[in-house]
Chain A
Amino acid sequence: MSEQGDKLGAEGARKWPTKPEFTPEMLEEMEKLLPAKLNRVVAASLSGCIHCGMCSDACHYSVSIPEDKTLVPAYKADRFRKWYKSRYDWLGQIFPSFVGAHKLDKELADDMYDKLWGACTMCRRCTFNCPMGVDYGMLVRAARGIMQQVGRVPQHLQDTVDTHHNSGNNMAVPRDEFIETMEWIEEELQDEEGCENFKIPVDKKGAQYFLTLNPREPKYYPLTIQASAKVLNAAGVDFTISSRYWDLTNYALFNGYDPDAKEFSMWQVEDVKRLGCEYLLAGECGHGYRSLRWELPNWVGGVPFKITSMMELLAKLVQQHRLKLAKSVWKGHRFTYHDSCNIARSGGIMEEPRIIINAATDDFVEMEHNRENSYCCGGGGGALAMPEFTPRRIAAGKIKADEIKATGADIVLQSCHNCTDQLKEIIEHYHIKAKVMNLAELLAPALII
């Protein structure tokens, strides 16, 4: 890691050697990699399935595409489990076909690739409906990690990780360009009425909150940064954005490669320490929040600061009456909220968004499945970075589209950029008249300054 120079990311540029198909040598290598992936959660999840089928109604793929029975979670996980059983199940080693065990061959590996990259978003809804507590998220990530290490990984997903590795953020935004963007957004913010003195402090040492962003924001959605900055300024929050490691995403959560996950986390930890902030503040991003809040401390072995999220902070600001809001701004609009899987089910943030929403609007309707029971929109698990599976991803979003439609809402709120893009796509595909916004975008126009 370069310390203070303009070069961000790792020293040497890397292009991960991806492979178009499995070869015997790759399968051999996978056999060697398997044992290291078997921690107690993964091993229990591979051993524990009783094929009861209770997960079949829990998955947005199997519910949205009912004609394809191979999308049932137990079937998908069995692509990995068959291999595991052929090596570790006592009966599976003697009578493999009796227990559904199968040696790892090209056909099984191809099936694993298709089902575990392209038909699972690791949303863990099936995990919450499994009587045995099988953790499909962990299991799938372990399988993905093995495939990734031998080079069989969706190209675009790996490119995203490589870009992060090489540039310090996953869209290769140069440091000077990022600083310019922040300055431009600050000017735009100051042009708003009552916001003349609002700031977007970059690299402010000793700020209380170290705000992180999703690279889509400076690149494509600068207005979300403006909205977040407006709300934080209005509440008098002491925050800063780093000009270095401001990217909260960590796509190594999706490709399963722990050394990269750890490396990206470590950069951010060092940067928070550099600026001496009390809190690492995750912006509105689902997997980014989970990566920072729940995985980063494990990847780097603990951190000397606290980690929180915009959802939690905004809810706190509302509860402390530090934000004055005019609900009349949103009169005539109906809202619903989509719980990102990584924020709610895997992250424990369920009531905070509702505190925020109810402070800004009187017309909020829950979807049929919400909080930890929410269906994945289909954009999780890195699915948006795997264009080869796009038709299936859109088809799997049907259950979410149906639930949005049933609320009659014309604005779908969420706190995740992968969800944003997927929700926009399914709303268009399933002909729903609704707009997608994040929580800062809900609050910013309603602020009484």
Chain B
Amino acid sequence: MENHVSYALHILEEPVQYLALAFMALMYIIKISQMLKKPIPPEKAELKGDRVAGAFDSLLNVLKPWSMESTRNNPYFYIEFLIFHIGVALTIGATFFIPLFPSLMTLTVSKIFMIFMGLAFLIGLRRIYRRLTVPEIRIISSPDDFFAITLMTVFFAVGFGAMSLWIKGSPDTGWMWIFFLMTTFFLLYVPFSKISHYVLYPFGRINFGRIFGGRGVLNKNVKAPSWNPK
């Protein structure tokens, strides 16, 4: 695909994005360094399992829906989660591929991107509905929770619209402007929002894996290295 756009849109697609991306990276570096400064609780007990294997096991938890009862019993919810997050990755990816590597965005690739954007949009709508109507979800929801899911859902829709015009040979459209303006906003806003949870994910999972891996609760197939009472 070609990406012949106006100079103004080019500015938005590249230098503005780079600046916003640099800002986001800076915020994440601060966020991560703040977390790394917190002391790790010591572990001086004789281990029954492997803390490192536990951490890996726990990090990969996202790919193992059978490992938690909450996902094991809700496969539909897990599939939604998976598609939604693939949609997130591809939609954000599109904002880089379109200006930087338009040749990679063949018609087939673009359609795959659009399928995930469309599905993620529908899942986003369902998630908004769920947050509004399920009492135990509504009671824990903050405005940021609603704003984040709404923003993502609109982002998918705009991305879908922009790409559907783009594959028809219209790269410089109102949809594309909104798409890139939203991307810029995202890059600036996400570090302050719950959407940045993926930065915290490794911390939570590694903490969990180290504790319960060491105690032999996780990755039970790893033989206890040192514990064998006489």
Residues of A within 8 A of B207 (CB): 40-41, 44-45, 133, 135
Interface-centre pick from A53, A54, A128, A301 (highest chain B CB count, 10 A): A53
Asked, given contacts A55-B70, A98-B143, A132-B197, whether A40 binds B136 with beta carbons under 8 Å apart, the answer is no
B 34-64 to A, binary, CB cutoff 8 A, 1 in contact else 0: 0110111111111011000000001001100
Residues of B within 8 A of A45 (CB): 204, 207
Taken together as a complex, chains A and B put the C-alpha atoms of A316 and B203 apart, in Å, by 37
- Judge if A166 is at the interface, Cβ distance under 8 Å: no
- Which residues between 191 and 221 of chain B lie within 8 Å of chain A, taking CB atoms? 191-194, 197, 200-201, 203-209, 211-212, 215-217
Taken together as a complex, chains A and B put the C-alpha atoms of A210 and B203 apart, in Å, by 38
- Judge if A23 is at the interface, Cβ distance under 8 Å: no
- Judge if A225 is at the interface, Cβ distance under 8 Å: no
Residue of A nearest to B77 (CB): A54
Asked, given contacts A58-B70, A279-B229, whether A134 binds B204 with beta carbons under 8 Å apart, the answer is yes
Chain B: residues with Cβ within 8 Å of the partner, total of: 56
Taken together as a complex, chains A and B put the C-alpha atoms of A348 and B134 apart, in Å, by 35
Interface-centre pick from B35, B58, B194 (highest chain A CB count, 10 A): B194
Report the minimal beta-carbon distance from B114 to chain A, rounded to whole angstroms: 26
Are A91 and B144 in contact, with the CB atoms below 8 A?
yes
Are B200 and A132 in contact, with the CB atoms below 8 A?
yes
Interface residues on A, range: 35 or more
Asked, given contacts A40-B40, A43-B35, A48-B200, whether A100 binds B144 with beta carbons under 8 Å apart, the answer is yes
Are B142 and A44 in contact, with the CB atoms below 8 A?
no
Are A57 and B229 in contact, with the CB atoms below 8 A?
no
Are A39 and B41 in contact, with the CB atoms below 8 A?
yes
Are B144 and A98 in contact, with the CB atoms below 8 A?
yes
Taken together as a complex, chains A and B put the C-alpha atoms of A105 and B1 apart, in Å, by 58
- Judge if B135 is at the interface, Cβ distance under 8 Å: yes
B 67-87 to A, binary, CB cutoff 8 A, 1 in contact else 0: 011110110010000000000
- Judge if B139 is at the interface, Cβ distance under 8 Å: yes
Are A348 and B45 in contact, with the CB atoms below 8 A?
no
Tell me the dominant secondary structure on chain B's binding face: helix
Are A133 and B45 in contact, with the CB atoms below 8 A?
no
Residues of B within 8 A of A308 (CB): 229
Specify which of A43, A78, A99, A135 is in contact with B194 (CB 8 Å cutoff). Answer: A99
Interface residue stretch chosen among A2-10, A66-74, A243-251, A389-397? A66-74
- Judge if A347 is at the interface, Cβ distance under 8 Å: yes
Residues of A within 8 A of B36 (CB): 40
- Judge if A17 is at the interface, Cβ distance under 8 Å: no
Are B203 and A48 in contact, with the CB atoms below 8 A?
yes
- Which residues between 292 and 332 of chain A lie within 8 Å of chain B, taking CB atoms? 293-298, 301-302, 306-308, 312-313, 316
Are A133 and B205 in contact, with the CB atoms below 8 A?
yes
Are A307 and B41 in contact, with the CB atoms below 8 A?
no
Residue of A nearest to B65 (CB): A131
Taken together as a complex, chains A and B put the C-alpha atoms of A372 and B49 apart, in Å, by 15
Report the minimal beta-carbon distance from B42 to chain A, rounded to whole angstroms: 5
- Judge if B8 is at the interface, Cβ distance under 8 Å: no
- Judge if B2 is at the interface, Cβ distance under 8 Å: no
Specify which of A39, A98, A127, A208 is in contact with B208 (CB 8 Å cutoff). Answer: A127
Residues of B within 8 A of A358 (CB): none
Residues of A within 8 A of B142 (CB): 51, 97-100
Asked, given contacts A51-B142, A62-B136, A91-B144, whether A131 binds B62 with beta carbons under 8 Å apart, the answer is yes
Asked, given contacts A91-B193, A98-B144, whether A44 binds B204 with beta carbons under 8 Å apart, the answer is yes
Report the minimal beta-carbon distance from B35 to chain A, rounded to whole angstroms: 6
Residues of A within 8 A of B109 (CB): none
On B, residues with C-beta under 8 Å from A are 35-36, 38-46, 48-49, 58, 61-62, 68-71, 73-74, 77, 134-137, 139-145, 147, 191-194, 197, 200-201, 203-209, 211-212, 215-217, 229-230
Please, could you name 25 A-B residue pairs with CB atoms under 8 Å apart, sorted by A?
A: A39-B41, A40-B36, A44-B203, A47-B35, A47-B200, A48-B200, A48-B203, A51-B141, A57-B69, A97-B143, A99-B144, A130-B70, A130-B204, A131-B70, A132-B197, A132-B201, A133-B204, A133-B206, A279-B229, A295-B45, A306-B229, A308-B229, A316-B230, A344-B217, A369-B69
Known: A97-B142, A129-B70. 9 other contacts (CB 8 A): A38-B38, A50-B194, A56-B137, A72-B139, A100-B143, A127-B208, A132-B201, A138-B41, A346-B217
